[in-house]
Structure 1
Amino acid sequence: MVCFCFLVDQKRKVRSSKPAAGTCSRCRSGVSVADMKTVTRFCYLPFYCKSWKAIICTFCGALLKSYR
């Protein structure tokens, strides 16, 4: 028996953030430390949820460094 299950989506959401020292290497804007949450859904059902910290740009939204 073969069962196919397709990845539907993976969403990243910023739960909270606070300013940090430094600048973005891409646009030279300010950065912040954010508590992130990633939710992965398979076949439209929530399958996996993970919380982690990241340094993101406040202007362009680039993910500069992640702490998992």
Structure 2
Amino acid sequence: MVFFCFLVDQKKMVRRSKPAAGSCSRCRGGASVADMRTDTRFCSVPFYRRKWKAIICTFCGAMLKSYR
């Protein structure tokens, strides 16, 4: 018997952030250090949650660097 399960969605959310020194290399906007959370759901059931840190641009939202 074969079961197919498709990735329904994966959301990246910023839990909290604080300003960081430096600027974005793409738009020259300000940067901030953010505590991120990724929620993955398979077949509408929450399956995996991961917390990590990233440096993101406050203007364009680009992820400049991530820390696991």
TM, length-normalised to structure 2:
0.98
CA distance in 2, matches of 1:61, 1:55: 10
Task: State yes or no: 1:37 paired with 2:8.
Answer: no
Runs of 4+ in 1 over 3 A off after TM superposition: none
Give the match for residue 65 of structure 2.
65
Residue segments in structure 1 that go unaligned for 5+ positions in a row: none
Q: 1:42 offset after TM fit, Å?
A: 0.3
Distance 1:29 1:53 in 2: 19
SS of match in other structure, 2:15: strand
Give the count of matched residue pairs.
68
1:13 aligns with 2:13: yes
Structure 2 segments unaligned to the other structure (5+ residues): none
CA distance in 1 between counterparts of 2:44 and 2:64 reads 30
CA distance in 1, matches of 2:29, 2:65: 15
- 1:16-62 alpha-carbon deviations (Å, 9 max, x no partner): 00000000000001000000000000001110000000000000000
Percent identical across equivalent pairs? 78
CA RMSD for the aligned pairs? 0.4
Work out whether 1:54 is the aligned partner of 2:54: yes
Tell me the TM-score normalized by structure 1. 0.98
Q: What SS class does the counterpart of residue 28 from structure 1 fall into?
A: coil
